[in-house]
Amino acid sequence: MNAITTTFGPAAEVQWAAWWPWLTVAALGLFHGINPAMGWLFAVALGLHRRQRRVVLLSLLPIAIGHAVAVAVFVALALYLGSMLDPRLFARLGGAVLIGWALWHVWRGHRMRPRVGMQAGMAGLAFWSFLMAGMHGAGLMLVPVLLPLCVSPVSGAIAGSSAVAPAILALVLHTGAMLLAISAISLLVYDRIGVGFLRTGWINLDLLWTAALLLCGALLLLH
C-alpha cells in the first residue's frame, strides 16, 4: 500500500503538473497538422499536379515554417501583453478573444481563405501557410497552455524575459509535432489512399477546430 501511495501520491501529481502543458503543446501540434486547411492537402495536390513525390516532401517545410511564424507572432504578442496586464485580466481578455475568434470563424472565416495556385514556390507556400494559420487562430489556441509554462511561481504573472525560453521550446515542440503529422498524412494520402476519401471518409475538422477555440477560450475565462 505504501508503494502504491508513493507512486500515485503528491510526487506523481507534481510530475503530471510539470508535464501536461508540454504534452498538450505537442498534441495541439498533431491536431493542427491533421487539419487539411493547415497544409497537407495542398502539399498532396502540388505533388499530384507535378507528378512528383518529392514535391510533396519539399512543400512541407515551408508550410511548417509559415505555420510556426504565425504561431510565434501570437505567442510573442501574448507574452508582451501578459507581462503588462494583471494575470486575471489577461486571462479574461484572452478567453474573450478566443471565443470571439471562434464565432468569427463560424460566421465568416471559411469564406476568407487565401488562394495559392499550383505554380506556387516555396516562399509563396510559406506565406500562404502563415496566412492560414493566422486566420484560423492557431497561435491563440496555444495561449492557455503556455500560461503554466511562462508564469512566475512567485507573482503568478508572465515572467518577462524568463518566459521567452519556455515559449521558444514550446514553439519548437509544437512545430515538430505539426510537421510530423502533415508528413505522415501527406505521404499516406499521396502513396496509398488518394484524396477521394475526403468526400466520404473525413470528419468535419472545421467544426472540431471551432470547438477547440471555444474550449481554449473557456479555459482562460475560468483560469
DSSP, collapsed to helix, strand or coil, labels residue 151 as strand
161-166: long-range contacts, CB 8 A cutoff, minimum separation 24: 163/79, 163/82, 163/83, 164/79
The residue type of 79 is: L
Percent of the chain scored above 90 by pLDDT?
17
Report pLDDT for 4: 45
In the predicted model, is pLDDT for residue 176 greater than 70?
yes
Structural domain count, the chain: 1
Query: 60 with 43: CB under 8 angstroms?
Result: yes
Mean confidence (pLDDT) of the chain: 78
Residue 23 placed within a domain: no
Residue 107 placed within a domain: yes
Report pLDDT for 5: 45
* Stronger pLDDT, 192 or 2, i.e. the higher one: 192
Residue 12 placed within a domain: no
- Domain of residue 114, residue span: 40-221
Residue 35 placed within a domain: no
Q: What is the pTM of this model?
A: 0.78
* Stronger pLDDT, 37 or 163, i.e. the higher one: 37
Report pLDDT for 92: 84
Give tens-digit pLDDT for 143-159. Answer: 888 777 666 554 455 65
Report pLDDT for 20: 81
